Homo-oligomer: A and B are copies of this chain.
Amino acid sequence: MRRMTIRDIAQAVGTSPATVSKVLTGRGDSLISDTTRQKIRDTARELGYSPNLAARALVTGRTHCIALWAETLADFHAMVANVLLDVLRPSRYEMVITDVVKHPDWHAYFQRNAPWPVDGIIALDSPHSVESYLASGAGRNAPVVSAGAYFWPETDHVGVDLGSGIREAAFHLAEQGCVRIAHLTCQHGMRPGDSRRLAYEAAMRDLEREPELLVTEQSSREDARLLIHDLVRRGDLPDGLLCFNDEVAIGAYRGLREMGVRIPEDVALTGCDGIADTAYFDQPITTIVQPVDELCHAAWQCLQRRLDEPDCPLQSRMLKGSLTVRGSSLRREVHGP
């Protein structure tokens, strides 16, 4: 059984494809009589018609599909993807998730193979791809909104300033009496670890302390756990551990507990991003919570506006992560006002 087309409906109703199209898209509503409109709608339903979106996209140049670019879909990124699905729900848009590590040479990629044709892109912390994309000139076809720590002068941007949160966390650890506040980070050159490291280093300068970097290879839970084991064995453990994200904070947490180190008495611990599980540990983990809801809403709002008015002025919004102090870093009772 062939798939139904607009023609089949036209034939069944005894009208022309144009009329069917007008009715089904609602584009010429006032130009079609009520009776014809009803007949067409009914027949479409009966025949089980569903439009061929490729054909529609071909002629309209719009797909009603946007892409989320991310380098992975774990933890924080999964949270964003999930919220974004919620945000898009009332809209007519669907979301393609594109794994941007897929294509090692983005520049070449964009020159040769188009990515899936979307009307617009929300790029979550994927600076390499965005750069190549913009360089390829494809940005005119499908605009990019960059979300996260990185942005470019040519694109709309919704950012989250974690710098101030990290600074706050560093001061918080100092206030809790930590003497050696180390930063558990990812490999240099990996984003978004770099900007967080810079914020840490700046905070340490202001605290007039020596920065101390601990680097995990893969920035995974497991890496962090083993790194901590090493540190404890060498007897070289700092007493304050500011982790660049929650995954490594969780790994560090486990590593410390396995070695019998007390949290926060021996080591005070903080993470970053605000993934759900941090709040459920025996010592809930202090973290810098990203405003995911706001981020997603703002990004989609931005993109929508840009799609409606391609030439509207550049949009930029900066949100703030907020330090949420929990047991893992709280040595003294906080006295209420």
By a beta-carbon cutoff of 8 Å, the part of chain A in contact with chain B is 1, 3, 44-45, 48-55, 57-58, 63, 65, 72-74, 78-79, 81-82, 85-86, 88-89, 94-99, 101-102, 110-117, 136-138, 140-141, 221, 225, 250-251, 253-254, 257, 276-277, 279-282
Contact B114 A65 (CB under 8 A): no
* B residues in contact with A74, CB < 8 Å: 78-79, 82
Contact A45 B112 (CB under 8 A): yes
Contact B3 A48 (CB under 8 A): no
11 new A-B pairs (CB below 8 Å) besides A45-B112, A55-B58?
A: A50-B111, A51-B114, A52-B117, A53-B114, A73-B81, A73-B85, A78-B82, A94-B116, A96-B97, A254-B281, A277-B277
- Distance (whole angstroms) from the CB of A283 to the closest CB of chain B: 8
Q: In the docked arrangement, what's the CA distance between A121 and B115, Å? A: 19
Closest to A278 in B: B277
Q: In the docked arrangement, what's the CA distance between A138 and B4, Å? A: 11
Contact B50 A138 (CB under 8 A): yes
Can you identify 5 A-B contacts, CB atoms within 8 angstroms?
Answer: A63-B116, A78-B78, A86-B99, A94-B98, A94-B116
Please provide the 8 A-B residue pairs with the shortest distance between their CB atoms, ordered closest to farther. A78-B78, A54-B57, A50-B114, A73-B82, A254-B280, A85-B99, A277-B277, A282-B282
